[in-house]
């Protein structure tokens, strides 16, 4: 069974890039009838906050991306300790004692010599006495994973194709800090093994992490005598950029809160993020199954995916225009029924604008200043108003015959008198909602000037 995971750190709110990753993992799982898991990466106790955990859950629920299970790294520390000890016994992790300043100096020296800034493994040359001396001085070690340099690291990436890394060109990664806290790579690998994750889909900024973690998977299988775990499939999608063609701080601040405040429907967010950066057209598709039917990693481009807020707004308007009354009834102003929604809906960019348009029905409205000719015309309209199945077209036809007006001189003064606006909903639908008595009153008031 395909099992994917979304693994946010609760150190802030989800932004649009996180949301896209969560969505694609949800789609990858749902497309094959698999499982989508939420893993809260909360090993950073100082920065992790419970309100962010709740916000992550709420945002996923709003988007309709309900996970099939949830794990928290803060409750899995014994698993990481066990994995660490197994790797240490197998000689795959080792203590290092350099300070951050010493490591930075080494990096600058390597760059100055035209070499890649790779850790030189100096800590491996320390003998037991030298390590003991360091610790006697109060220098606590951090711990590195020892990469196997014997063979290249290779995998078939679901988006990027064949990938190959020379492990000798990578630094042995720090997996545990001197204070005992964890960095990302080992806990993530342990969790993917223990949670049965079969497919890891994430941003292309994790490609080098994947090279390291592939060796961790095989090392853990050997150290813990559990080769049944194996290595998941990996795919790395291009990162989001703004429409101007570069990484945007704005993207990092856009999240579900911002979308909700602007009246964006979750279906619009999903429709856009499901397909930007792919060869499929971005369309106002609210049906998740249609999106799932077309979901295929083979359609993903390696070029950066452009996120355009204007495109999101256009999608939102199109989705609102197709929404049924039942889907929005509890968000509409008091008194607006299905006929009212059907009349108002084509003019909305956001559902929240319905109340403003509904005032055309409930009033009060303000009329523009009409010319004497138009006031006389509107007085005639009040006299000829005759209610029936289609009072708007009946009135227009009667006025055309009586006054000779047609086109804009016929329709614009009527709309302005009845709604106070020169544009808006279809008057054939709107006039019955206003009602005969109120319509006649508005026409008479407008004719009086």
Residues 208 and 196 placed together within one structural domain of the fold? yes
3-state DSSP assignment of residue 5: strand
pLDDT at 326: 97
Residue 263 inside a domain? The answer is no
Asked if 38 and 65 touch (Cβ cutoff 8 Å), the reply is: no
Buried b (16+ CB within 10 A) or exposed e, 145-156: bbbeeeeebebe
Token pair of 357, please? 């348009």
Q: How many CB atoms lie within 10 A of CB 441?
A: 14
Residues 165 and 175 placed together within one structural domain of the fold? yes
| Unique residue bearing structure tokens 């609760």 | 10
Residues 395 and 436 placed together within one structural domain of the fold? yes
Q: How many CB atoms lie within 10 A of CB 51?
A: 9
245 has a pLDDT exceeding 90: no
Q: Read off the pLDDT band of 228 (50, 70, 90).
A: low
Closest C-alpha to 237, from 17, 13, 11, 8: 17
Number of domains in the chain: 3
3-state DSSP assignment of residue 336: coil
Residues 38 and 184 placed together within one structural domain of the fold? yes
Residue 269 inside a domain? The answer is no
Q: Read off the pLDDT band of 19 (50, 70, 90).
A: very high
Residue 311 inside a domain? The answer is no
Domain closes at, from 316, 337, 361? 361
Residues 106 and 175 placed together within one structural domain of the fold? yes
Token pair of 53, please? 């955990």
List the end-to-end C-alpha distance of the chain, in Å, as a whole number.
73
Phi first, then psi: give them for residue 363, nearest 5 degrees. 75, 180
Residue 268 inside a domain? The answer is no
pLDDT per residue as tens digits for the range 352-400? 999 999 999 999 999 999 999 999 999 999 999 999 999 999 999 999 9
Residues 197 and 346 placed together within one structural domain of the fold? no
254 has a pLDDT exceeding 90: no
Residues 399 and 355 placed together within one structural domain of the fold? no
Q: In the Cβ-directed half-sphere of 86, how many Cα atoms lie within 13 Å? A: 19
Residues 426 and 347 placed together within one structural domain of the fold? no
Residues 333 and 438 placed together within one structural domain of the fold? no
Token pair of 359, please? 């005032």
CATH number of the structural domain spanning residue 122: 3.40.50.620
Residue 301 inside a domain? The answer is no
Token pair of 277, please? 């950066």
- Whole-number Å distance between alpha carbons of 205 and 237: 9
Residues 57 and 181 placed together within one structural domain of the fold? yes
**What DSSP assignment string belongs to 282-347?**
P-----HHHHHHH--GGGB-SSPEEE-HHHHHHHHHHHHHT--HHHHGGGSPTT--HHHHHHHGGG
Residue 249 inside a domain? The answer is no
pLDDT at 270: 98
Q: In percent, how much of the chain has pLDDT > 90? A: 94
Count of residues in the chain: 449
Closest C-alpha to 247, from 16, 26, 423: 16
Residue 271 inside a domain? The answer is no
Lowest mean pLDDT among 147-156, 251-260, 314-323: 251-260
Residue 193 inside a domain? The answer is yes
pLDDT per residue as tens digits for the range 26-77? 999 999 999 999 999 999 888 999 999 999 999 999 999 999 999 999 999 9
Domain closes at, from 216, 237, 258? 237
Prediction pTM value:
0.91
Q: In the Cβ-directed half-sphere of 228, how many Cα atoms lie within 13 Å? A: 4
224 has a pLDDT exceeding 90: no
User: What is the span of the domain harbouring residue 85?
Assistant: 3-237
Domain closes at, from 237, 257, 275? 237
CATH number of the structural domain spanning residue 373: 1.10.10.350
Residues 332 and 393 placed together within one structural domain of the fold? no
pLDDT per residue as tens digits for the range 199-220? 999 999 999 999 999 999 999 9
Residues 435 and 342 placed together within one structural domain of the fold? no
């Amino acid at each position: 069974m395909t099992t994917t995971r979304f693994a946010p750190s609760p150190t802030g709110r989800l932004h649009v890039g996180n949301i896209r990753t969560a969505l694609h993992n949800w789609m990858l799982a749902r497309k094959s009838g698999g499982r989508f898991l939420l893993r809260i990466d909360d090993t950073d106790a100082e920065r992790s906050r419970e309100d962010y955990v709740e916000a992550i859950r709420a945002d996923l629920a709003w988007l309709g991306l309900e996970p099939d299970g949830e794990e928290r790294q803060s409750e899995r520390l014994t698993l990481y300790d066990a994995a660490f000890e197994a790797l240490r016994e197998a000689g795959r992790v080792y203590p290092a004692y350099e300070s951050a300043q010493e490591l930075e100096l080494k990096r600058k020296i390597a760059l100055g010599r035209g070499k890649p800034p790779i850790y030189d493994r100096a800590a491996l040359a320390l003998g037991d006495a030298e390590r003991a001396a360091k610790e006697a001085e109060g220098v606590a070690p951090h711990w590195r994973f020892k990469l196997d340099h014997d063979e290249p690291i290779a995998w078939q990436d679901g988006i990027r194709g064949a990938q190959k890394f020379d492990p000798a060109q990578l630094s042995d990664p720090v997996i545990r800090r001197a204070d005992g806290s964890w960095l990302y790579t080992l806990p993530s690998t342990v969790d993917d093994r223990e949670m049965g994750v079969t497919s890891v889909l994430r941003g292309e900024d994790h490609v080098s992490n994947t090279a390291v973690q592939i060796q961790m998977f095989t090392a853990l299988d050997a150290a813990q005598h559990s080769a049944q775990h194996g290595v998941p499939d990996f795919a790395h999608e291009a990162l989001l950029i703004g429409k101007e063609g570069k990484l945007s701080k704005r993207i990092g601040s856009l999240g579900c809160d911002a979308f909700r405040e602007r009246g964006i429907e979750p279906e619009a967010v999903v429709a856009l993020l499901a397909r930007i950066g792919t060869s499929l057209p971005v369309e106002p598709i609210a049906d998740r199954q249609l999106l799932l039917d077309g979901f295929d990693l083979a359609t993903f481009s390696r070029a950066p995916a452009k996120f355009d807020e204007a495109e999101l707004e256009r999608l939102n308007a199109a989705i609102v225009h197709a929404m049924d009354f039942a889907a929005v009834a509890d968000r509409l102003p008091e008194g607006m029924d299905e006929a009212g929604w059907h009349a108002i809906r084509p003019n909305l960019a956001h559902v929240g604008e319905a109340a403003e348009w509904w005032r055309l029905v409930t009033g009060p409205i303000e009329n523009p200043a009409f010319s004497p000719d138009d006031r006389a015309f509107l007085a005639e309209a009040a006299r000829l108003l005759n209610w029936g199945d289609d009072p708007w077209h009946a009135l227009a036809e009667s006025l055309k015959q009586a006054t000779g007006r047609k086109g804009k001189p016929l329709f614009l003064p009527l709309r302005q008198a009845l709604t106070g606006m020169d544009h808006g909903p279809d008057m054939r639908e709107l006039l019955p909602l206003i009602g005969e008595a109120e319509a006649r009153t508005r026409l008479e008031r407008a004719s009086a000037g």
